[in-house]
Structure 1
Amino acid sequence: MQPIIDVHIHFDQYTLKEQQGIMKEMEHYQIHSLISVSTNLSSAVENLALYQKDERIKLAFGYHPEQPLPTDEELADLIQFMDKNHQAMVAIGEVGLPYYTNVKSLEGYLALLEEFFKLAVKWNKPVALHAIYEDAPIVINLLEKYSIQKAHFHWFKGDTKTIQQMVENGYFISFTPDLAYEHEIQKIAATYPLSLTMVETDGPWPFEGPFQGQKTHPKMIHETIRYLAKIKSTHVDEVYRQLYNNTILFYSIF
């Protein structure tokens, strides 16, 4: 094992006992840090409290798109919180568009995403994105509109044309443990440059295959890296080194 960073985890959604267990095991499994993304204001508050207890928890504040839009008051409160604590966060996230939720119109979600992109520009922060399949090109257009280069599409799925555009723009993607058993994800991994790749768990989201029945843990990333090395026909040590350096530089973690 070599040092790893989980670039996308909902650490606030684990129980206190689970959080404590993971934190105790981080050194053993060479887990350098976890980027805990937020889903709303209460999630952001919980993540901030986790960071204040242990700075290996890195912060991303945002509003997950797979939920009803916030009211004007809720959004104002979230932005006020982010403004007060933006120096503590490494990114804005999780933000994006609601692919899985049946919504009549994307108009409100696009307006919300633009607000977060404006903040990303204002504070010079990367964005951690929930944008897959046909939503991805829409988000790419917005990224280009605001000249945002530090974009991270987490657990990405999409077509070849979109992937090519993302590579050309220098956007990053990250792979979860489902790389071990999902052919669609393996195909993306085979073509996406290692220089634009990171790894995540999206925990506590559960996985199948060799991880069936296991509570999602950042240590699973080691297995993801081994599968990625096989897919890329690259020595596993080089994959560890590349992914770690990618993450340190992208998220400015030192």
Structure 2
Amino acid sequence: MIDAHIHLDQYNDAEIKRIVKNMQFGGIEGLVCVSTNLESSMANLALAERYPETVHPAFGYHPENPLPNEEEVIRLLSWMEREERRMIAVGEIGLPYYLRRRMAKEGRPFDLNAYVHLLERFLSFAGQYGKPVVLHAVYEDADLVCDLLERYRIRKAHFHWFKGAKHTVQRMADLGYYISFTPDLLYESEIMELARSYPADQVMAETDGPWPFEGPFAGQLTQPTMVLKVAEAWAALQGVAPEEARCQLRENTRRFYGI
């Protein structure tokens, strides 16, 4: 299988070596490694050079980060332009749902338009170079992001760890967008319901590591082999054999990213 979304650069070196070793014995053939800023993008590119058949890097700016200044944006986009042949996708990009909620709770002002403008610049880049996009966009933010994807004519969009209203889910499915499930598929009823309904040829499995999980994964280091459990859970919800589920999720990921 392939872990369709992981922040490999956020692990320490010993953990990375352990992860890659475990992958070799656990049936995981590849990682889509998303980035959070320029430094993160450079680190993931270095990891791709270190593990060329395993790490597939995506470059971008995580929307839950503080808004970058213009110089930072230009530096990142210029670097991405130089390295565009080595990137599998633009990501992680999107809108800051959780940051916005936290600031509203604290009574602090928030300029969503600035984040929308930043997202548009990355979507424009993706459109120019024909790259898929990896999106952090949940609940009502997903509707706005769908509008932007249509405006910039982006067809290949991957909404990772998605949560949203039924009408949004239907819109995304109809537009051919992909979503991915994390290990919380084993214990979150909201995610289980989504997994039952979303088209089987538009889903993938991810860990979003090193983000920690609960349930049967409590206290464990999040690592790519956990997508095998995601596949088993998805298989049970779909009423298919685990091997069929693993093959389906793997092929979906390979088709979307061109791996």
Q: 1:75 aligns to what? A: 73
Equivalent position SS for 1:101: helix
Shift of the alpha carbon at 1:43?
Answer: 0.4
Measure, in 2, the Cα distance between the counterparts of 1:167 and 1:217. Answer: 28
Shift of the alpha carbon at 1:30?
Answer: 1.1
Measure, in 2, the Cα distance between the counterparts of 1:91 and 1:241. Answer: 22
Q: 5+ residue gaps in structure 1?
A: none
Q: 2:86 aligns to what? A: 88
Measure, in 1, the Cα distance between the counterparts of 2:243 and 2:10. Answer: 32
Mean alpha-carbon deviation: is it higher for 9-18 or for 48-57?
48-57
Measure, in 2, the Cα distance between the counterparts of 1:82 and 1:71. Answer: 17
Measure, in 1, the Cα distance between the counterparts of 2:252 and 2:142. Answer: 22
Mean alpha-carbon deviation: is it higher for 96-105 or for 27-36?
96-105
Percentage of matched positions with identical amino acids? 50
Aligned counterpart for 2:175 among listed residues 163, 169, 175 = 169
Measure, in 2, the Cα distance between the counterparts of 1:219 and 1:185. Answer: 20
Letter aligned with residue 62 of structure 1: G
Shift of the alpha carbon at 1:185?
Answer: 0.4
Measure, in 1, the Cα distance between the counterparts of 2:224 and 2:21. Answer: 12
Q: 2:135 aligns to what? A: 129
Q: Say whether 1:66 aligns with 2:72.
A: no
Shift of the alpha carbon at 1:68?
Answer: 1.1
Q: 5+ residue gaps in structure 2?
A: 104-109
Shift of the alpha carbon at 1:174?
Answer: 0.1
Shift of the alpha carbon at 1:105?
Answer: 2.2
Measure, in 2, the Cα distance between the counterparts of 1:65 and 1:182. Answer: 24
Structure 2 length normalisation: TM-score? 0.95
Measure, in 1, the Cα distance between the counterparts of 2:154 and 2:244. Answer: 29
Shift of the alpha carbon at 1:146?
Answer: 1.1
Higher helix share: 2
Aligned counterpart for 1:32 among listed residues 11, 29, 50 = 29
Q: Say whether 1:249 aligns with 2:249.
A: no
Structure 1 length normalisation: TM-score? 0.97
Measure, in 1, the Cα distance between the counterparts of 2:35 and 2:81. Answer: 15
Measure, in 2, the Cα distance between the counterparts of 1:64 and 1:44. Answer: 11
Pairwise CA RMSD:
0.7
Measure, in 2, the Cα distance between the counterparts of 1:81 and 1:19. Answer: 25
Mean alpha-carbon deviation: is it higher for 170-179 or for 44-53?
44-53
Q: Say whether 1:189 aligns with 2:195.
A: yes
Q: Say whether 1:113 aligns with 2:119.
A: yes
Measure, in 2, the Cα distance between the counterparts of 1:23 and 1:224. Answer: 19
Q: 1:219 aligns to what? A: 225
Aligned counterpart for 2:244 among listed residues 226, 238, 243 = 238
Q: 1:49 aligns to what? A: 46
Count of matched residue pairs:
250
Q: 1:18 aligns to what? A: 15
Measure, in 1, the Cα distance between the counterparts of 2:243 and 2:221. Answer: 26
Shift of the alpha carbon at 1:249?
Answer: 1.0
